[in-house]
Amino acid sequence: MFKMAFMVNRILTLLKKDVLLEFRQKHTFYGILLYIASTIFVLYLSIDKPDANVWNGLFWTIQLFICVNAVAKSFLQESRGRMLYFYSIASPVEFIIAKMIYNLLLMILMSLLSLLLFVIFLNNPIDNGLRFIGIVVLGGASISIVFTLMSAIAAKAQQNAALIAILGFPVILPQLLLLMRLSKAAFAEVFREGAILQMSVLILGLDVLVIAMAVILFPYLWKD
């Protein structure tokens, strides 16, 4: 029990470190906000009021690119000296879990903000707002978990950020397709309640699988 409490305390400390760094390097955060706002504004100038299917597809495609931009820096910004310091004070499992929690919270915030801008600029074809917000939270968390692991792998490959998109695409594609299909339940499309639950459980299952992979694989990356 004491060991678990000590582990949680170290995870929270690492999480607090990432939050403080984000506040100190505000240009990165504001850069992501500018990317979201400018992308959605360009869509508004180009399409104005897309139908529900186009709206849904554009929303999730933009979430993918937002996540690549927001999460890519997660490990690439950590210098070798800083990683050696973290190696001496925390375990690899604690470190990767803290990174996942931070990126999850950041991506959920960005996803909700982009949803707000989509509603403002590109009309609002959503019939069930609360359901869609729940799907957005689930989707943002799922995408961030995948790209956190990809960022950790890419950081060990001579810090090649392009690897994040290359490695993440085969893993994220099934999740994106499921999220697009699931989110149609908020656009007046008739679904059986069992089908909605089944897709949600499948997405959560993929998340658990990626987290398990991260917990198993990251200690080997940590040693390099």
The 10s digit of each residue's pLDDT in 60-90 is 999 988 888 887 677 766 666 677 777 777 7
- Could you tell me if residue 59 is inside a domain? yes
Residues 6 or more apart from 188 whose CB is under 8 A from it?
Answer: 52, 127
Which residues constitute the domain of residue 210? 11-223
Quote the number of domains for the chain: 1
Q: Is the residue at 213 inside a domain? A: yes
Give the global pTM.
Answer: 0.87
User: Has residue 2 been placed in a domain?
Assistant: no
Residue 212 lies in a domain: yes
Which helix (H) or strand (E) element contains residue 172? helix 162-183
Are 215 and 96 a contacting pair, CB within 8 Å? yes
Helices of type H across the chain: 2-24, 26-47, 52-71, 73-76, 80-89, 92-121, 129-155, 162-183, 193-223
> Does 19 fall in a domain?
yes
Is residue 106 included in any domain, yes or no?
yes
Position 188 in a domain: yes
**pLDDT tens digits, residue range 115-163?**
999 999 888 888 888 888 998 999 999 999 988 888 887 777 665 666 6
Whether 3 is in a domain gets the answer no
